[in-house]
Amino acid sequence: MSSPNIAAMLDKTEELDLIIKEQEVILLKINDLNKKLKTSPQVVENPNDNSLELLKLWYTQAMNLSNCEANICDLLANQLDALLELQQPSPPPLPQQQKRMAKARVEQPKRQKQVKSLSNPSSITGSLEGKEVAAKVMPQNFEKGEWIIARVVRFDEESKEFEVVDEEPDNDDAKEVESGEKKYKVPMRSIIPFPSSNDPTSAPEFSPGTYVLAVYPGTTTLYKARVVRGHNKRKKHDYVLEFDDDENEDGTLPKRKVPFHKVVAFIAEGDGQ
């Protein structure tokens, strides 16, 4: 058995520290909102309140980070076991032990492949690669972040950020790539995956009056909107929404249909990045 790379183990401990800090930020948000709901549970009855959607989003993020933490801890424990074995000479194997060791050598490649897929944190974040998401970015010369539709390129293990591209750029505020796309790096908490277009049950249930982020019909742009009618997971796959600043000449807001896979939770300023 080869000796584990000590430098690589130290890198993993730094990675673990970053994940724990990220967890602490999200858990603080969850605890603050839980305290608010405990003292004023009636706020969820307000049609404009999105507390429950935020809690679901943060719990999902906390779960993903917890899985990453567990995988890294498992990897480090296995590497420490290997180091301890190297420090202790093994006695000559008995005949039965030799048979078990021969069988283990045959199965070892399969086990190593399984451990690699479980112990690598990017096995979770990597599932988003190539997928369309809502991403909160901070363009140059902007005081506040804005939500855009982006495609995940990869997860940067070093910075613990997603690299995404805006496929419909309209300014020069991000790094330009050869295809004319604009590239950004954003943390995990600023990424909201869109529901699978082939699975209506994957979409969150937004009750009427809830504010969401949705793709305005005929565009590739995200706007804040209010739910008029939620989507039916068995029959109707569209939300009926009223978009902010979308008034008719008479001042009324038109009701527009938006596919379920183009709607995500609205996060108020300060809750995303």
> Does the pLDDT value for residue 154 go beyond 80?
yes
Residue of 55, 64, 70, 52 whose CA lies nearest to 16: 70
Phi/psi for 262 (5° steps) reads -115, 20
Per-residue model confidence as pLDDT tens digits over 98-149: 555 555 454 444 434 433 333 344 544 556 788 888 888 876 656 677 888 8
Lowest mean pLDDT among 2-11, 74-83, 240-249, 262-271: 2-11
The architecture CATH gives domain 126-171+179-193? Roll (2.30)
What pLDDT does 120 receive? 45
Which tens digit of pLDDT belongs to each residue from 13-24?
A: 888 888 888 888
Q: Calculate mean pLDDT across residues 33-40.
A: 86
* pLDDT above 70 as % of the chain: 71
Which pTM was predicted? 0.51
In this prediction, residue 121 carries a pLDDT of: 44
State the Cα angle at 221 between 215 and 223, rounded to 5°.
65
- Assign 3-state DSSP to the chain and report helix, strand, coil percentages, each to 5: 45, 20, 35
Q: Tell me, what's the pLDDT at 212? A: 92
83 compared with 157, residue with greater pLDDT: 157
* Region 231-260 average pLDDT: 84
Q: Which residue has the tokens 């140059």?
A: 140
pLDDT band at 214 (very low <50, low <70, confident <90, very high): very high
CA distances from 129 to 44, 85, 167, 176 (A): 34, 38, 15, 19
Q: For the structural domain made of 200-265, what CATH number should be given?
A: 2.30.30.140
* Range in 34-43, 104-113, 170-179, 246-255 the model is least confident about: 104-113
Give the tens place of pLDDT for each residue, 66-106: 877 887 887 777 777 777 766 665 555 555 545 555 554 54
Asked whether the domain spanning 200-265 has the same topology as the one spanning 126-171+179-193, the reply is yes
Q: Where are the domains of the chain?
A: 7-79, 126-171+179-193, 200-265
pLDDT of res. 14: 83
Q: How many helices (H) and strands (E) does the chain have?
A: 4, 11
CA–CA gap between residue 188 and residue 204 (Å, rounded): 19
Residues 6 or more apart whose Cβ sits within 8 Å of residue 135: 147, 148, 149, 150, 162, 164, 184, 186, 190, 191, 192
- Percent of residues, the chain, with pLDDT higher than 90: 10
Burial code of 174-202, b = ≥16 C-beta within 10 A, e = fewer? beeeeeebbbbbbebbbbbebbeeeebee
